[in-house]
């Protein structure tokens, strides 16, 4: 696929980002466009490897290896190289309902499993994917495609995140009448309120796709929480099948017993991100109905995408200082021997929030007590041991200790504290980005749904059927916290099984 010698001739190139000091002044997307000749060269780098792993979608060492959607990556790389963008878009949509989302927020496990990546920088798959769909919208190729006929069957989808929207899109394409219920005031779930606007523009990307889905015949109901506003048994009676795609929204709180946890100023990351995006969309932050980091000392505990999004949001507010604690040691710059291809490469990465904090606070870090020049707000192998408050019960500092990961600690901990490394960091706000432990349980209790040991709705992968007849589950509420691309995968597959349940057979992929 691509040009036979392209991987030898062209270096990897991805879209540039607007300068950090410029982009933190607004909430617009920070990536820029690549010119068509450059994109064709990037498609040419796909090396006709014979047995591609980029589209396998396996789990290796507990991590995604290759694309969970099984995208036809070598095919559309070749089509881009040959300047056949319309056909590339059709191939992309065969496996992915929402490439404009994954092209922006997916960590690209496909690139981690690219064969070229064994000895060279991998093909810029995510960049090519994003440009295929963006070009499709620009040229008017992406249009609503309502089903030609209806089956007379009705399906309710509970939750409008990536899993729910993918399930709804597929079920609607099969001719079923689909109604999506969302408890928030806007459709999109995680896509709308869990991911900041500068990474995924809500009006240009999310609302545009939702409008297309509505034109295709999907009905959306907002401000309606199943379990409170409507009993799930009533939903089961009104519809021929119900699909649960509620996400994993119960946050982990590993600091519940840490001294000072009750202080004002400590928030879960998703509370911070959700309120900020809602206020931004409602009033451009003029209503003040959000947690502001302006002129505040901010501590973010936990890495990953959510922690990074807290960094980027705090930078745009104009925080006074910013530090990010990660309990694990810093990852190596290149793959370790125990992390071979095609596993997801566990290497050190600098995301947009890290770069922005480094650009602004570079000199601040340089004058730190350790007198080391830093361009990154992260502190590794560090544990929070106490939250310190003032007389009014407000957070004013966070106390930490460094960790030795070569020496096991008490109670089987994989690390031990290093004596003499205790430190106090100023903090007016602390955001906990510690992941999620599972879905909320109200619906499960009301319908007596079986759950697994992690509280997820019990439904076998590939079948998606719960112990309640006609009730399906997909996405994070079934598999636990995961990637947007896995959620779309599960929504698509669960829709196929739901269609089979309703019709006896299914033509859905």
Give the confidence band of 367 by pLDDT, cuts at 50, 70, 90: low
Strand locations in 61-184, DSSP E?
63-65, 154-158, 177-181
- Please give the average per-residue pLDDT across 136-151, as a whole number: 98
Residue 371 is predicted with a pLDDT of: 46
Residue 499 is predicted with a pLDDT of: 98
pLDDT digits (tens, 9 = 90+) for 312-358: 999 999 999 999 999 999 999 999 999 999 999 999 999 999 999 99
Please confirm whether the linkage preceding 342 is cis (ω < 30° from 0): yes
Token pair recorded at residue 508: 């859905």
Token pair recorded at residue 42: 């990037």
Residue 409 is predicted with a pLDDT of: 87
Residue 483 is predicted with a pLDDT of: 95
Residue 240 is predicted with a pLDDT of: 98
229, 232, 233, 234 alpha-carbon torsion, rounded to 10°: 40
Collapsing DSSP states into helix, strand and coil, what is residue 183? coil
Distance CA 160, CA 9 (A): 44
Distance CA 264, CA 389 (A): 8
Strand locations in 356-426, DSSP E?
378-379, 382-389, 395-404, 416-417, 423-426
Residue 431 is predicted with a pLDDT of: 98
pLDDT digits (tens, 9 = 90+) for 202-218: 999 999 999 999 999 99
> Which residue segments constitute the domains of the chain, with CATH numbers given?
6-138 (1.10.1060.10), 154-250+436-503 (3.50.50.60), 253-432 (3.50.50.60)
Residue 50 is predicted with a pLDDT of: 87
Token pair recorded at residue 254: 């590993």
List all residues 6 or more positions away from 84 whose beta carbon is below 8 Å from its beta carbon. Answer: none
pLDDT digits (tens, 9 = 90+) for 225-275: 999 999 999 999 999 999 999 999 999 999 999 999 999 999 999 999 999
Residue 1 is predicted with a pLDDT of: 63
Share of the chain above pLDDT 70, in %: 97
SS3 of 215-275: HCCCEEECCCCECCCECHHHHHHHCCEEEECCCCCEECCCCCCCCCCCCECEEEHHHHHHH
- Please give the average per-residue pLDDT across 106-125, as a whole number: 96
Q: Inform me whether the pLDDT recorded for 374 exceeds 80.
A: no
Give the confidence band of 370 by pLDDT, cuts at 50, 70, 90: very low
Using N-to-C axis directions, what is the helix angle for 125-138 and 73-81, rounded to 10°?
60
pLDDT digits (tens, 9 = 90+) for 278-311: 999 999 999 999 999 999 999 999 999 999 999 9
List all residues 6 or more positions away from 320 whose beta carbon is below 8 Å from its beta carbon. Answer: 295, 296, 297, 298, 428
Q: Inform me whether the pLDDT recorded for 58 exceeds 60.
A: yes
Q: Inform me whether the pLDDT recorded for 57 exceeds 60.
A: yes
Give the confidence band of 372 by pLDDT, cuts at 50, 70, 90: low
Out of 8-22, 179-193, 314-328, 368-382, pick the least confident. Answer: 368-382
| DSSP β-bridge partners for residue 250 | 438
Share of the chain above pLDDT 90, in %: 92
Mean pLDDT, rounded, of the chain? 95
Radius of gyration for the chain, computed over Cα atoms and rounded to the nearest angstrom? 23
Residue 482 is predicted with a pLDDT of: 95
Whether 395 and 355 have beta carbons less than 8 Å apart is answered as no
- Please give the average per-residue pLDDT across 445-449, as a whole number: 98
Q: Inform me whether the pLDDT recorded for 458 exceeds 50.
A: yes
Q: What are phi and psi of 416, to 5 degrees?
A: -135, 145
Token pair recorded at residue 169: 């899109």
Give the confidence band of 362 by pLDDT, cuts at 50, 70, 90: confident
Distance CA 328, CA 269 (A): 19
State the pairing for strand pair 177-181/219-221: parallel
Residue 425 is predicted with a pLDDT of: 97
CB count within 10 Å of CB 38 equals 17
- Indicate if the alpha-carbon torsion angle 368, 364, 331, 62 is positive or negative: positive
Distance CA 128, CA 76 (A): 9
Q: Inform me whether the pLDDT recorded for 485 exceeds 50.
A: yes
Residue 262 is predicted with a pLDDT of: 97
């Amino acid at each position: 696929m691509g040009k036979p010698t392209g991987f030898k001739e062209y270096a990897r190139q991805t879209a540039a980002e607007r300068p950090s000091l410029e982009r933190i002044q607004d909430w617009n997307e920070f990536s820029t466009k690549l010119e068509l000749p450059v994109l064709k060269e990037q498609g040419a780098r796909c090396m006709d490897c014979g047995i591609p792993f980029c589209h396998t979608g396996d789990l290796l060492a507990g991590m995604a290896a290759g694309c969970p959607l099984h995208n036809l990556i070598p095919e559309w790389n070749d089509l881009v190289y040959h300047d056949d963008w319309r056909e590339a878009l059709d191939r992309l949509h065969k496996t992915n309902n929402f490439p404009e989302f994954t092209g922006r927020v997916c960590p690209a496990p496909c690139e981690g499993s690219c064969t070229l990546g064994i000895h060279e920088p991998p093909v810029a798959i995510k960049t090519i994917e994003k440009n295929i769909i963006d070009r499709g919208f620009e040229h008017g190729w992406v249009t609503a495609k309502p089903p030609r006929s209806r089956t007379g069957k009705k399906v309710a989808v509970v939750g409008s995140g990536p899993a729910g929207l993918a399930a709804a899109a597929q079920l609607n394409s099969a001719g079923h009448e689909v109604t999506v219920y969302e408890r928030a005031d806007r459709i999109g779930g995680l896509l709308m309120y869990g991911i900041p606007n500068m990474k995924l523009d809500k009006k240009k990307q999310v609302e545009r796709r939702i409008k297309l889905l509505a034109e295709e015949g999907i009905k959306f109901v907002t401000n309606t929480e199943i379990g409170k506003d409507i009993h799930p048994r009533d939903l089961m009676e009104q519809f021929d099948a119900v699909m649960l795609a509620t996400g994993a929204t119960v946050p982990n709180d590993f600091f519940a017993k840490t001294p000072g946890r009750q202080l004002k100023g400590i928030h879960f990351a998703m509370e911070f991100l959700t309120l900020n995006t809602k206020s931004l969309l409602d009033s451009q932050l003029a209503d003040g109905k959000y947690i502001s980091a302006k002129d505040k000392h901010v501590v973010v505990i936990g890495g990953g995408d959510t922690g990074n999004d807290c960094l980027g949001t705090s930078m745009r507010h104009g925080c006074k200082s910013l530090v990010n604690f990660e309990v694990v040691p810093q990852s190596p710059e290149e793959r370790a021997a125990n992390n071979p291809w095609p596993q997801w490469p566990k290497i050190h990465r600098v995301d947009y929030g890290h770069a922005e904090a480094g650009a602004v606070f570079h000199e601040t870090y340089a004058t730190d007590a350790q007198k080391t020049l830093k361009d990154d707000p992260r502190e590794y192998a560090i544990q929070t041991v106490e939250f310190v408050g003032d007389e009014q019960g407000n957070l004013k500092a966070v106390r930490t200790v460094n960790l030795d990961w070569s020496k096991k600690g008490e109670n089987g901990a994989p690390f031990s504290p290093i004596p003499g490394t205790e430190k106090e960091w100023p903090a007016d706000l602390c955001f906990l980005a510690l992941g999620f432990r599972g879905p909320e349980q109200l619906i499960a209790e009301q319908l007596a749904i079986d759950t697994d040991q992690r509280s997820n709705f019990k439904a076998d992968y590939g079948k998606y059927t719960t112990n309640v007849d006609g009730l399906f589950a997909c996405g994070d509420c079934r598999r636990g916290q995961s990637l947007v691309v896995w959620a779309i995968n599960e929504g698509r597959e669960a829709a196929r099984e739901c269609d089979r349940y309703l019709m006896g057979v299914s033509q859905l992929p």
